[in-house]
């Protein structure tokens, strides 16, 4: 079982719709959760971080965390073609390790 699992996609949504991206993780002591966006041929860039159960909103982005279910999601409202990218979920354990563990990413396509 992979430590961080994501559906590879592609997830295709029409422009203006809500895109929902999901991620599950296996390490119960994980404490910090991040969403990175990676455009094709570019490096990852941080878009959201979340540490507590519940929702965290930042503009059109909402991160949701449920530690009991070991589940984190990212919602993108009013999706734009410029949101088309691969979204990487990353998790940091609370075991003293500093390294982030990344999922394989979900490719999002927003259709104009």
Partner 1 sequence: DTGVSQDPRHKITKRGQNVTFRCDPISEHNRLYWYRQTLGQGPEFLTYFQNEAQLEKSRLLSDRFSAERPKGSFSTLEIQRTEQGDSAMYLCASSWGQGDEKLFFGSGTQLSVL
Q: Give the dihedral sign, CA 42/48/53/54.
A: negative
| Residue whose CB is less far from partner 1, 20 or 49 | 49
Q: Whole-number minimum distance, CB 53 to partner 1, in Å?
A: 18
Q: Whole-number minimum distance, CB 37 to partner 1, in Å?
A: 11
First to last CA, the chain: 36
79: DSSP letter: -
Contacts (CB under 8 A) with partner 1, residues 34-73: 34, 42-46, 49
How many residues in the shown chain lie near partner 1 by CB under 8 A? Answer: 22
DSSP element (H, E) containing 104: none
Q: Is 102 in the site for partner 1 (CB under 8 A)?
A: yes
3-state SS class at 2: coil
Q: Whole-number minimum distance, CB 4 to partner 1, in Å?
A: 8
Q: Whole-number minimum distance, CB 71 to partner 1, in Å?
A: 17
- CA 77/CA 102 separation, integer angstroms: 23
Q: How many CB atoms lie within 10 A of CB 105?
A: 22
Chain positions contacting partner 1, by CB under 8 A: 4, 8, 32, 34, 42-46, 49, 88, 90, 92, 97-105
């Amino acid at each position: 079982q992979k430590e961080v699992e994501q559906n590879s996609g592609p997830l295709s949504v029409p422009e203006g719709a809500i895109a929902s991206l999901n991620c599950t993780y296996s390490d119960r002591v994980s404490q910090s959760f991040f969403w990175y966006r990676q455009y094709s041929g570019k490096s990852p860039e941080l878009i959201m971080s979340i540490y507590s159960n519940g929702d965290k909103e930042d503009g059109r982005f909402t991160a949701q965390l449920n530690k009991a279910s070991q589940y984190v999601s990212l919602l993108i409202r009013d999706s734009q073609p410029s949101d088309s990218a691969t979204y990487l979920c990353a998790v940091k354990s609370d075991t003293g390790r500093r390294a982030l563990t990344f999922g394989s990413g979900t490719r999002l396509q927003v259709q104009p």
